[in-house]
A = this chain, B = another copy of it.
Amino acid sequence: MSDQYAGGYTTRRNVGLIRVVTFTDPDKLNAHGALIERRVPRLSVVSRCIPDQPYGIHDDTSEKTAIPKIIELAHSLVDEDRVEALIVSCAADPAVRELQASLRVPVVGAGRSSALFALSRGEKIGMLGITPEPLDALTEVLGDRLVATAKPDGVANTVDLLKPEYRVQAVVAARSLVSQGAEAIAISCTGFATIGIIDELAAACGVPVVDPVVAAGVICDYWLT
């Protein structure tokens, strides 16, 4: 590569990323970190996952169970791994508010990041996730700019999204948001990033679609001045 990309960067910056799904396969664990490093090459991402939640966060109960585990992991990433910023890679933004109040490093949630970037491109936002109801983490900033919410038919949790038969349902759901007036789509489940469908959705819909994982990485990078 040419040195024209060097800019002022002389060192990479260490960022911690918390997965809220339990993985044993390191490639799966590191999948979101890899997406971020590809788009934000200055960042070096250390990924960790919470224990005993193989289906992730998909309802209120699973979210409540996850929160203390996320807080423990976050403190360990800051205190032991010495990360300079933290990403909670779940669009429900579990524990993000608490961690922002208790940690001195920037803490960024994928959900709010997705909503914020969607607002950079339009006034009428659609939300595409895995739950029939919109997520508070996104509605808090979207307010009445949220015009519609959709989920792929048949999908109940982030693991379902890995099944190829749901890709077409994701496209159908995204298109339904546009037909309801969405000028941009905020993805409200990081599983859509995991399966690499974001660009396909944008191409199929003709409107900008936000990758919540990359958006969180970009925001994190911004704050590491």
Contact = CB atoms under 8 A, between A and B. Distances in A.
Interface residues of A, number: 42
Contact of A8 (B38, B208, B215): B38
Interface string A29-47: 0000000011111100000
A116 B108 contact: no
A1 B8 contact: no
Contacts of A225: 199, 202
Interface stretch (A117-125, A127-135, A158-166, A187-195): A117-125
Counting chain B CB atoms within 10 Å of each CB, the highest count among A10, A120, A208 belongs to A120
B4 A1 contact: no
A170 to B, nearest CB: 18
Given A1-B3, A225-B199, A219 B9 contact: no
Interface string A1-20: 10111111110100000000
A204 B225 CA distance: 15
A3 B40 CA distance: 14
B108 A219 contact: no
A214 B218 contact: no
Contacts of A143: 143
A141 interface: yes
A222 B117 contact: yes
A112 interface: yes
B1 A12 contact: no
A128 to B, nearest CB: 17
Counting chain B CB atoms within 10 Å of each CB, the highest count among A113, A218, A222 belongs to A222
A7 B97 CA distance: 31
B223 A5 contact: no
A108 B184 CA distance: 14
A27 B17 CA distance: 40
Nearest to A118: B116
Counting chain B CB atoms within 10 Å of each CB, the highest count among A116, A121, A122 belongs to A116
A100 interface: yes
Lowest 6 CB-CB distances: which A-B pairs, in order?
Answer: A7-B41, A1-B6, A116-B116, A5-B41, A120-B219, A8-B38
